[in-house]
């Protein structure tokens, strides 16, 4: 969520004895109670349409609600109020933020600089904070520019905790956890009751992964102790325990709902707990209830939740239907890698009416899976998406498609090993994609040149390519199999591979080179390993019975093609 802190909160929260003012609205916004904040600022504007500060914060309410961002509404209120207040720096900053959202960085910077040049020195820190906030919140913003402005503001307002919280947010945007933590701690030094500062320090420690739980939980609990009404911490903990402990997740969700504005997002959270409890039909029914009650502001994730539930129930057609609706309604920035990956898998599951339909579904699925991989910022997440799809395809006996996804893992995973190469190359082979299989097993032989398996499978892929068995493409690889087998101490481990290689050489020398003596030699190598091998015994008899011109005789030798028995 986007961050703000309050300069003061001397009016009791929710006290009906006093008219609500800007600080009340900002407090609602800090608590991420967007509907309540919107109500306060709209009432202030209704009483005074030229209230510049109320207009600015109403626009911020529309922009900061990441679940339902309304850029058009923010722009409209800024433009409308600017008509009567053309030199209001806060509104000019607001329009600069709109420019950032639309990718117009130069126009945004010009507006920011214009706004910064308007106020007197005593009023400048508020404008510096507003410019910094815009640059921190929007992805096209300049975090370093924000930090520079906040340092200037801090020089004048040394007891303003909001400046330090914004500073921490700016450093977080730069992925500088050390300086971010320092800034949040300065905010706590100024205001020990600043729950958001504790919350954000905890989130920094949480990103550091395994072993940090005692530390970040300490800060989360500190945030609750500092301000039990700070609702965002409860929603965060609900999400944290969502797949860890559904009962704890439910407890935190109930605490959040008791404090938050009542909307379809809260209803969605309740439905999602049914989903994580594997009560899929109940989750769908609850989602329908939430959608009916949501009116014009239905939380779009409800459609996504229905899609996931239908997928779990094996109803791919309905899963696709609700994924399509989810993608149509949600802000594209809110679509996650798992959404695209799951949708791709759903497309693969839909029964094809004919071969063209199958090709279309597979191609479209690949587009969305590639989107998932591109969107995920972690290599582990990218690999998980690809592996999940590949495993599904193997289960569906679509080996060539599975090989394609396993091969994509090799391009992402820097330390791929034998097992990764095996899955990619062997599934290509099983799917008759011999060229791709040969490419993977060539990499295997280059990385592990003394491992007989890589050469063994490379040879089989080459046999697949040389389908007419006329050029002996696999001969060099089988020769390498034989060379490694000859130097292996425990012959029993490589005997089957060696026999397969010798059998290929028998066929090669007899069928392609018409060389009876060489064929007999390699056939004898098989018999030295297994004297009772029926095929070798038959070949030996047939070869010795040939007087001359073996090309004119019946062919006693058989290719090794199709005898591969890959092992990990």
Average pLDDT, whole number, for the chain? 90
pLDDT at 483 > cutoff 70: yes
Over residues 98-116, mean pLDDT? 95
What is the rounded distance in angstroms from the CA atom of residue 225 to the CA atom of residue 200? 15
Q: Which two tokens stand for residue 497?
A: 């591979």
Angle at 545 between CA 540 and CA 551, to 5 degrees: 95
Q: Is-contact 211 184, C-beta < 8 A?
A: no
Share of the chain above pLDDT 70, in %: 92
**CB 403 within 8 Å of CB 432:** no
Residue 111 has pLDDT above 50, yes or no: yes
| Lowest mean pLDDT, pick from 285-294, 485-494, 548-557 | 548-557
CB 399 within 8 A of CB 427: yes
Spell out the domain ranges in the chain: 479-568
From the list 194, 203, 258, the residue with the least C-alpha distance to 231 is 258
In Å, how far are 43, 178, 187, 223, 521 from 201, measured between CA atoms?
A: 35, 10, 11, 10, 75
Q: Please answer whether residues 179 and 187 qualify as being in contact, where contact means their C-beta atoms are separated by less than 8 angstroms.
A: no
Predicted pLDDT at 505: 96
Q: Which of 319, 157, 110, 303 is nearest to 167 (CA)?
A: 157
Arithmetic mean of pLDDT, 393-420: 94
Residue 533: what are its φ and ψ, rounded to 5°? -65, 115
pLDDT in tens, 297-324: 788 999 999 999 999 999 999 999 999 9
pLDDT tens-digit map of 340-366: 999 999 998 887 665 565 667 788 989
Q: What is the C-alpha R_g of the chain? A: 34
Is the pLDDT at 532 greater than 90, yes or no? Answer: yes
Find the Cα–Cα–Cα–Cα dihedral 311, 317, 322, 325, rounded to 10°: 150
**Model confidence pLDDT, tens digit, residues 130-176:** 999 999 999 899 999 999 999 999 999 999 999 999 999 999 999 99
- How many other C-beta atoms lie within 10 A of the C-beta of residue 396? 12
Q: What is the C-alpha to C-alpha distance for residues 358 and 477, in angstroms, rounded to an integer?
A: 36
Would you state the structure tokens that stand for residue 8, as one six-digit string? 């003061």
- CB of 195 within 8 A of CB of 1? no
What 3-state DSSP class applies to 476?
A: helix
Tens digits of residue pLDDT in 495-523: 999 999 999 999 999 999 999 999 999 99
At residue 408, does pLDDT exceed 50? Answer: yes
- Which pLDDT belongs to residue 20? 81
Per-residue pLDDT tens over the stretch 3-50: 443 333 322 333 333 468 999 999 999 999 999 999 999 999 999 999
pLDDT per residue over 464-478, tens digit each?
Answer: 999 888 899 999 999
526 phi, psi to nearest 5 deg: -65, -45
């Amino acid at each position: 969520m986007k961050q703000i802190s309050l300069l003061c909160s001397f009016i009791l929260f929710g006290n009906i004895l006093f008219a609500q003012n800007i600080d009340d609205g900002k407090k609602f916004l800090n608590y991420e109670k967007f509907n309540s904040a919107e109500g306060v600022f709209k009432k202030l504007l209704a009483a005074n349409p030229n209230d510049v500060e109320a207009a600015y914060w109403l626009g911020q309410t529309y922009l900061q609600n990441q679940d339902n961002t309304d850029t058009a509404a923010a722009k409209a209120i800024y433009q409308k109020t600017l008509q009567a207040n053309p030199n209001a720096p806060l509104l000019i900053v607001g329009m600069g933020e709109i420019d950032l959202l639309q990718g117009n960085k130069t126009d945004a910077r010009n507006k920011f600089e214009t706004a910064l040049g308007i106020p007197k020195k005593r009023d400048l820190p508020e404008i510096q904070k507003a410019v910094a906030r815009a640059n921190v919140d929007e992805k096209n913003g300049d975090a370093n520019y924000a930090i520079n402005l906040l340092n200037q503001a801090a020089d004048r307002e040394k007891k303003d905790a909001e400046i330090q919280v914004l500073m921490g947010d700016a450093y977080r945007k730069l992925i500088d956890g050390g300086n971010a933590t320092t800034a949040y701690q300065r905010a706590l030094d100024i205001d020990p009751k600043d729950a958001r500062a504790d919350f954000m320090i905890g989130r920094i420690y949480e990103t550091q992964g395994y072993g940090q739980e005692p530390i970040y939980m300490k800060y989360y609990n500190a945030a609750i102790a500092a301000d039990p009404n700070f609702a965002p911490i409860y929603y965060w903990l609900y999400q944290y325990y969502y797949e860890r402990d559904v009962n704890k997740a439910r407890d935190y969700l109930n605490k959040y709902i008791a404090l938050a504005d009542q909307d379809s997002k809260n209803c969605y959270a309740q439905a999602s707990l049914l989903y994580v409890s594997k009560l899929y039909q109940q989750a769908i029914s609850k989602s329908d209830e939430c959608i009916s009650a949501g009116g014009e502001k239905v939380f779009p994730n409800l459609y996504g939740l229905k899609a996931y539930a239908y997928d779990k129930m094996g109803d791919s057609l309905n899963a696709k239907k609700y994924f399509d609706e989810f993608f149509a309604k949600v802000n594209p920035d809110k679509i996650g890698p798992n959404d695209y990956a799951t949708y791709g898998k759903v497309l693969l599951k839909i029964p094809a009416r004919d071969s063209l339909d199958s090709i279309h579904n597979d191609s479209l699925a690949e587009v969305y899976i590639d989107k998932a991989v591109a969107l995920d910022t972690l290599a582990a997440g990218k690999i998980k998406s690809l592996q999940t799809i590949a495993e599904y395809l193997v289960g569906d006996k679509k080996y060539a498609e599975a090989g394609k996804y396993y091969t994509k893992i090799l391009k992402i995973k820097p330390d791929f090993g034998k097992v990764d190469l095996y899955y990619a190359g062997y599934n290509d082979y099983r799917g008759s994609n011999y060229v791709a299989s040969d490419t993977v097993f060539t990499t295997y032989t280059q990385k592990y040149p003394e491992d007989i398996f890589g050469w063994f499978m490379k040879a089989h892929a080459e046999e697949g390519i040389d389908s007419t068995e006329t050029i002996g493409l696999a001969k060099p690889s089988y020769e390498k199999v034989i060379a490694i087998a000859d130097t292996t101490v425990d012959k029993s481990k490589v005997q089957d591979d060696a026999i397969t290689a010798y059998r290929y050489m028998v066929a090669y020398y007899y069928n392609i080179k018409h060389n009876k003596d060489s064929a007999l030699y390699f056939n004898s190598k098989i018999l030295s390993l297994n004297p009772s091998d029926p095929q070798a015994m038959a070949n030996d008899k047939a070869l010795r019975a040939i007087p001359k011109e073996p090309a004119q005789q019946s062919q006693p030798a058989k290719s090794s093609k199709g005898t591969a028995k890959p092992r990990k």
